[in-house]
């Protein structure tokens, strides 16, 4: 019984990730400002890190959790760099 619940929840989670990435991609394409696009791109990366985590659970491969963590850290550094750029007068 728990295996059935886990498999259905993984399928539902994967479907939600696909829907979320599609919706955020629309925001990335529509804009309207550079900050909106950067936040959308950051969210796509965060959703990808979450999807890698779900894949790690589905395949029972804990090594992929480290991939997800590294991806999340790189995304964080990119967001901080963009915030620094805006603070120094990047987009007006």
Distance CA 19, CA 77 (A): 26
Per the listing, tokens 């619940």 go with: 5
Full domain range(s) for residue 83:
2-87
DSSP 70: H
63 falls within a domain: yes
pTM of the model: 0.83
> What pLDDT tens digit does each residue of the chain (92 aa) get?
678 998 899 999 999 999 999 999 999 999 888 888 888 999 999 999 999 999 999 999 999 999 999 999 999 998 888 888 888 876 65
Per the listing, tokens 């491969």 go with: 61
92 falls within a domain: no
Domain count, the chain: 1
72 falls within a domain: yes
67 falls within a domain: yes
Residues 6+ away with beta carbon under 8 Å from 77: none
Nearest to 53 by CA among 20, 14, 12: 14
């Amino acid at each position: 019984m728990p295996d059935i619940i886990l498999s259905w929840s993984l399928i539902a989670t994967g479907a939600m990730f696909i829907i979320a990435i599609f919706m955020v991609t629309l925001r990335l394409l529509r804009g309207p400002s550079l900050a909106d696009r950067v936040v959308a791109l950051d969210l796509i990366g965060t959703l990808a890190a979450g999807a890698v985590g779900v894949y790690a659970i589905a395949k029972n491969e804990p090594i992929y959790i480290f991939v997800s963590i590294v991806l999340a850290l790189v995304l964080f550094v990119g967001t901080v760099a963009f915030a620094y750029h805006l603070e120094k007068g990047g987009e007006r």
